Chains A and B, each alone.
Chain A
Amino acid sequence: MISPNPNAAPLIELADVRKTYLLGEVELPVLKGVSLEIRDGEMIALMGASGSGKSTLMNLLGCLDRPTSGRYVLDGEDVAGMSRDRLARIRGQKIGFVFQNFNLLARTTAVDNVLMPLEYSTSRPSDTVARARAVELLTRVGLEDRLDHEPGKMSGGQQQRVAIARSLINQPRLLLADEPTGNLDSKTSKEILELFKRLNAEEGITILLVTHDPNVGAAAHRRIVMRDGLIADDGAGHVHVLDEE
């Protein structure tokens, strides 16, 4: 798999990132030294069995958590040592999230759901501009006729589209999707994957899909496989030799 722009500057740079959880007295290493480079505009699938550390890695990449040690440079900024408040700002500005269970606000219209992240944005546009942008995003994901529908009245696929539109409202550099098709049937999954592909191809948004699903993996340009807290295959030619059981 070839990334669309091999010469682009790395958007993400992880160097020997470790994450260790403390369970009482016992230290539980989850990431044991992950080094990774992701370029701007790539579409990547992060795969691995459960317990391999891919969720933890995604949380770190999404600035929801801080590594125990190591360096994480996102878009030129070292975020490893940032405070919770600064991390929240980074999340708001640079990262969009798409979740397996959509996480839409109940009893709130699609447009309002899409607008929600702007409540915490530092550069909030005026109401009319924001609304126009939300409508445009919903149109782009194919929901132009569902603007004022509430999540309860939409199918899973439609809800996930709303969630994708929401993740794009702050014009992020990186879109993190955690099992985005996990709760969808195969036909809808395909449509959602197509949508991701289109966004990646047309907008050049860097997309990281965390998934079990080989079909999802196949849609990505590059697959990163994790095993036991390490990267087994970073999809860019660096294959780590691991002890096979």
Chain B
Amino acid sequence: MLQFVETTRVALRSLRRNVLRSALTTLGIVIGVSAVITMIEIGQGSARAIRETIARMGANNLLIQSGAASSGGITLGGGSGNTLLVSDLEALEVECAEYIAEVAPIVRARTQVVYGNKNWVPFYLYGTSPAYPDVRQWPLEEGSFFTEQDVRNSVPVCVLGQTLVRELFPDSSPVGQDVRINNQPFRVIGTLEGKGADMVGFDQDDTLLAPWTTVKYKVAGESLQETNQSVALPIDTASQVNSLNERYPGLHLPLYPVPSTSQTANYPQANRLETVDRIALRVGDGVDMATAKKEMSEVLRRKHRLRDNEPNDFNIRDMTEQSAAMGSSSAQMGSLLLAVALISLVVGGVGIMNIMLVTVTERTREIGLRMAVGARPRDILRQFLIEAVILCLLGAALGVVLGRGGSAFMNYWKQWPVESSTWAVVASVSSSVLVGIIFGYYPAWKASRLDPIQALRYE
């Protein structure tokens, strides 16, 4: 160890004897390392930016939808089953707490929203809970969101997306105004920030959010059956009109005695009231989507008392495919850039070898002298090797500073997202040490093989 320190000191001394050349020698390493670090920092920054964009688009969201109701061999489409209950959501919240960051129910409706002489039918008219903005990571632009209390009391308040704001309130702020939905006055208490289209191009800003209880009891109660194609027809009505039912009985046995037609007519709200159309949730950071989906599906199957051979009466959808595709393309780009940067490190290594060979030739007399005063071949080898490694280390240190500076500069100049990376520093510094050893070895070996007599006589 002591010897190593001493050799390092000697190496530093001899490098200092020719500062300019040492600097030029290590320039390749400096450029290589700074390139690696800048590339990785910018690459990771843009990867993170992409991840965040994907997250904003809902990639870490899961959507649980009730399954298709089917009646007499005719399925009524996804979400028609009315099988999801508010208690399902509560069960998920408790039993899958480790996977779930936020969860909110969704009750859908499709109806006209009127303000003054303007009207609009929002694509997403959602009844939900105060957790929804957190699920979608969707901040408010103005005003406030409704509260749990509003949900409990079915308060007619709503929050508008930017498209509705544009359509209904082109000139003034909507907050504090009343809009009419299904002939019910709703007070606008806030607006959502613009979010743009989702991955498949639907306008996400075309949204109106209200407490789910309000939407369910005051809006959807009638409008769903009138306007929404995908909502359930009462099963018994379907079986009445469809004789195929007898040939292809549905898998679901009716849980309760099937009401008669007159009963249905008398009690139009025969559907269980606590159903919700969807459950939207955001999984926690670093949670494996597949595991989360599996766990949730098990909880729901248990709650729905499904037999092993019965299919799910709900489905869970996610967007991992999209996010994986986008993530992998940025990872590919990153490794490509890294490869280019590593090549420049190797080129830097060739530069080191070149100059070290020159140095050995130039210092032949010195090597002879050192051998004469007692240096063994291995001492000479070690000395030149350490010299090369120190050159590389100094170059790497300078490269780290320059690389950090470069990425900071790009961040400042072009607002490119960057992320500082300790891993990049460790990797590039250690690979430049490796370069120093590999490319310094041959010149050092050559120096150690010199014959002291001839070396001393060398002019």
Which residues does A use to contact B, with CB under 8 Å?
A: 59, 62, 64-65, 84-85, 88-89, 91-93, 96-97, 99, 103, 105-108, 112, 116-117, 119-121, 124, 166, 170
Partner of B374, one of A103, A108, A120: A120
Judge whether B376 and A84 touch: CB under 8 Å: yes
Partner of A120, one of B2, B13, B375, B452: B375
Question: B42-50, B157-165, B188-196, B363-371: which one contacts chain A?
Answer: B363-371
Shortest CB-to-CB span from A187 to chain B, Å, is 27
Judge whether B374 and A170 touch: CB under 8 Å: yes
Most chain B CB inside 10 Å of its own CB: which residue of A97, A120, A121: A120
Shortest CB-to-CB span from B194 to chain A, Å, is 67
Interface flag for B401 (CB, 8 Å): no
In the complex with contacts A85-B378, A103-B456, A170-B13 CB distance below 8 A: no
Residues of chain B within 8 A of A92, CB atoms compared: 373-375
Chain B interface residue count, CB cutoff 8 Å, equals 23
20 CB < 8 A contacts A-B: A64-B371, A64-B452, A64-B453, A88-B375, A88-B376, A88-B377, A89-B374, A92-B373, A92-B374, A92-B375, A96-B373, A103-B366, A103-B369, A108-B13, A108-B17, A119-B370, A119-B375, A119-B379, A120-B374, A166-B373
Known: A89-B374, A166-B373. 16 other contacts (CB 8 A): A64-B371, A65-B453, A88-B371, A89-B376, A91-B371, A92-B375, A96-B373, A97-B373, A103-B365, A103-B368, A105-B369, A112-B13, A119-B10, A119-B370, A119-B375, A120-B370
Interface flag for B372 (CB, 8 Å): yes
Judge whether A85 and B372 touch: CB under 8 Å: no
Interface flag for B90 (CB, 8 Å): no
Judge whether A119 and B6 touch: CB under 8 Å: yes
Most chain A CB inside 10 Å of its own CB: which residue of B2, B368, B453: B453
Shortest CB-to-CB span from A176 to chain B, Å, is 9
Shortest CB-to-CB span from A86 to chain B, Å, is 9
Residues of chain B within 8 A of A124, CB atoms compared: 2, 6
* Contact count A vs B, C-beta below 8 Å: 70
- The answer for the CA separation of A59 and B451 in the assembled complex, in Å, is 11
- The answer for the CA separation of A91 and B373 in the assembled complex, in Å, is 6
Judge whether B376 and A116 touch: CB under 8 Å: no
- The answer for the CA separation of A65 and B375 in the assembled complex, in Å, is 14
Which residues does B use to contact A, with CB under 8 Å?
A: 2, 6-7, 10, 13, 17, 365-366, 368-379, 452-453, 456
Residues of chain A within 8 A of B366, CB atoms compared: 103, 105
- The answer for the CA separation of A97 and B370 in the assembled complex, in Å, is 11
- The answer for the CA separation of A105 and B372 in the assembled complex, in Å, is 14
Residues of chain B within 8 A of A99, CB atoms compared: 369, 456
Residues of chain B within 8 A of A93, CB atoms compared: 374
Residues of chain A within 8 A of B7, CB atoms compared: 119
Shortest CB-to-CB span from A134 to chain B, Å, is 14
In the complex with contacts A64-B453, A103-B369, A103-B456, A91-B374 CB distance below 8 A: yes
In the complex with contacts A64-B452, A119-B6, A120-B379, A106-B17 CB distance below 8 A: yes
In the complex with contacts A107-B17, A120-B379, A88-B453 CB distance below 8 A: no
Shortest CB-to-CB span from A119 to chain B, Å, is 6
Partner of B372, one of A91, A112, A121: A91
- A150 to chain B: closest residue by CB: B17
Complex A-B, nearest 3 residue pairs according to Cβ-Cβ distance, in ascending order: A92-B374, A117-B373, A88-B376
- The answer for the CA separation of A89 and B2 in the assembled complex, in Å, is 18
Judge whether B377 and A116 touch: CB under 8 Å: no
Residues of chain B within 8 A of A84, CB atoms compared: 376-377
Judge whether B453 and A59 touch: CB under 8 Å: yes
Shortest CB-to-CB span from A179 to chain B, Å, is 12
- The answer for the CA separation of A182 and B377 in the assembled complex, in Å, is 30
Shortest CB-to-CB span from B155 to chain A, Å, is 83
- A65 to chain B: closest residue by CB: B453
Shortest CB-to-CB span from A17 to chain B, Å, is 16
Residues of chain B within 8 A of A166, CB atoms compared: 373
Judge whether B372 and A170 touch: CB under 8 Å: no
Partner of A62, one of B6, B370, B372: B372
